[in-house]
């Protein structure tokens, strides 16, 4: 649905020139929620703004819904943008317009007549749960309400793609959750493809199907979450299941086991203790629902001899579990 291909973008000239995006390629499938995570300054904001060409890339191409955005003339680009909604961190609502009129702006731009504007804006306000506030001004709304209006505006022209530029970063955790839920609902009910950028791993965990990690303007890793989880050494997976560092003074072998899909509800650890007679100790554990699947990671201390440990680990691996050795000699 969205295809970013070898896109580079730099700002400034001469020695002050910074490369914000360095040969970035991404593919977002139809109907997917795709999250790009990264620290501030990693280039994620620039990346999302190249998709609707608010930022024109220096090189590379962008394709959205079969249209090569980077080849479009000014007029065609405006029409293409009407099919791509965008939500902003600071909402960017017009203070001079009521909630209803803010949503209608998207339809005025497209050229929808007054009566239809009214009904369509009303329907969308219903969808975001704010029809009671139609006559209010943005100044009278809370942050979460403003973002709902921002979302309503972005959806008014019935786009097929929604871009979300840190939509929840200015909101408290409670409101963040409700906005994410709304995005998920929209994705499901309207079949909208969503590309979002965020610095919060929680956002990815809660709603994304796929994710990419961006660092210093480059994509360090990308893929479907269910696959990333079972990819050895995946940094995104580690970010999703933060187990922290191994405490100093830990002896023996320490391993991380990642459970996903069917293995999540099997009594793996009890079996391990029974079959290999190891006094397994649990050093840390986390279970999350990721992309609709139960997944978890457990950190175990194996106090046995290298041979027993190795046999135990081999056994775990034959069960299809992802085992990563954190410390210790058993390979």
CA nearest neighbour of 206 among 196, 216, 215:
196
Applying CB under 8 A, does 284 fall inside the site for another protein?
Answer: no
Strands 193-198 and 161-165: parallel
Shorter beta-carbon distance to another protein: residue 193 or 309: 193
Residues 177-206 that bind another protein (CB under 8 A): none
Applying CB under 8 A, does 81 fall inside the site for another protein?
Answer: yes
**Backbone conformation region of residue 95, classed left if phi is above 0, alpha if psi is from -120 to 50, else beta:** alpha
The C-alpha angle 61, 106, 36, rounded to 5 degrees, equals 40
Applying CB under 8 A, does 318 fall inside the site for another protein?
Answer: no
Pick from 11, 12, 39, 54 the residue near another protein by CB under 8 A. 54
Measured between alpha carbons, how far is 163 from 83 in angstroms, rounded to an integer? Answer: 11
Of the candidate spans 18-26, 77-85, 198-206, 220-228, the one that interacts with another protein by CB under 8 A turns out to be 77-85
Shorter beta-carbon distance to another protein: residue 137 or 311: 137
Applying CB under 8 A, does 25 fall inside the site for another protein?
Answer: no
Shorter beta-carbon distance to another protein: residue 153 or 299: 153
Applying CB under 8 A, does 170 fall inside the site for another protein?
Answer: no
3-state DSSP assignment of residue 50 = helix
Structure tokens that stand for 97 in this block:
């317009």
Of the candidate spans 2-10, 59-67, 94-102, 280-288, the one that interacts with another protein by CB under 8 A turns out to be 94-102
Residues 120-159 that bind another protein (CB under 8 A): 137-140, 153-154, 157
Alpha helices (runs of H) in the chain, residue ranges in sequence order: 44-51, 74-81, 99-110, 114-127, 143-156, 173-189, 201-207, 225-229, 235-240, 268-276, 306-318
Least CB distance to another protein at residue 138 (A): 8
Shorter beta-carbon distance to another protein: residue 68 or 79: 79
Binding-residue total with another protein (CB under 8 A): 32
Of the candidate spans 2-10, 28-36, 106-114, 200-208, the one that interacts with another protein by CB under 8 A turns out to be 106-114
Applying CB under 8 A, does 161 fall inside the site for another protein?
Answer: no
What are the percentages of helix, strand and coil residues in the chain, rounded to 5? 40, 30, 30
Residues 6+ apart with CB under 8 A from 95: 137, 138, 139
Residues at the contact surface with another protein, assessed by CB under 8 A: 52, 54, 77-82, 84-86, 88, 90, 92-97, 105-106, 108-110, 137-140, 153-154, 157, 163
């Amino acid at each position: 649905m969205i295809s970013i291909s070898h896109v580079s973008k730099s700002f400034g000239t001469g020695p002050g020139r910074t490369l914000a995006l360095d040969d970035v390629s991404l593919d977002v499938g139809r109907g997917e929620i795709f999250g790009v995570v990264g620290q501030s300054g990693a280039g994620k904001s620039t990346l999302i703004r190249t998709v609707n060409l608010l930022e024109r890339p220096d090189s590379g191409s962008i394709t959205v819904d079969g249209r090569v955005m980077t080849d479009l003339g000014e007029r065609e680009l405006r029409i293409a943008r009407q099919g791509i909604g965008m939500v902003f961190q600071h909402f960017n609502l017009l203070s001079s317009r009521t909630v209803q009129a803010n949503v209608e702006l998207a339809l005025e731009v497209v050229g929808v007549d007054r009566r239809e504007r009214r009904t369509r804006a009303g329907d969308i306000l219903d969808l975001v749960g704010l029809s009671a506030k139609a006559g209010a001004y943005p100044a009278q709304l809370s942050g979460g309400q403003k973002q709902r209006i921002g979302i309503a505006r972005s959806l008014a022209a019935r786009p097929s793609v929604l871009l979300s530029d840190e939509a929840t970063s200015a909101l408290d955790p409670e409101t963040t959750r409700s906005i994410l839920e709304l995005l998920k609902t929209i994705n499901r009910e309207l079949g909208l493809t969503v590309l979002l950028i965020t610095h919060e791993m929680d956002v990815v965990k809660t709603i994304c199907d796929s994710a990419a990690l961006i660092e210093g303007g480059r994509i360090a890793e990308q893929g479907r979450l269910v696959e990333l989880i079972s990819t050895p050494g995946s940094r995104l997976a580690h970010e999703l299941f933060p187990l922290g560092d191994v405490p100093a003074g830990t002896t023996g072998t320490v391993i991380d086991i990642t459970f996903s899909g069917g293995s999540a509800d099997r009594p793996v650890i009890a079996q391990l203790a029974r079959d290999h007679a190891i006094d397994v100790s649990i050093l840390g554990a986390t279970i999350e629902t990721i992309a609709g699947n139960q997944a978890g990671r457990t950190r175990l201390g194996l106090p046995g001899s290298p041979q027993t440990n190795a046999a135990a680990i081999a056994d775990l691996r034959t069960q299809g579990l992802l085992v990563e050795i954190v410390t210790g000699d058993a390979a």
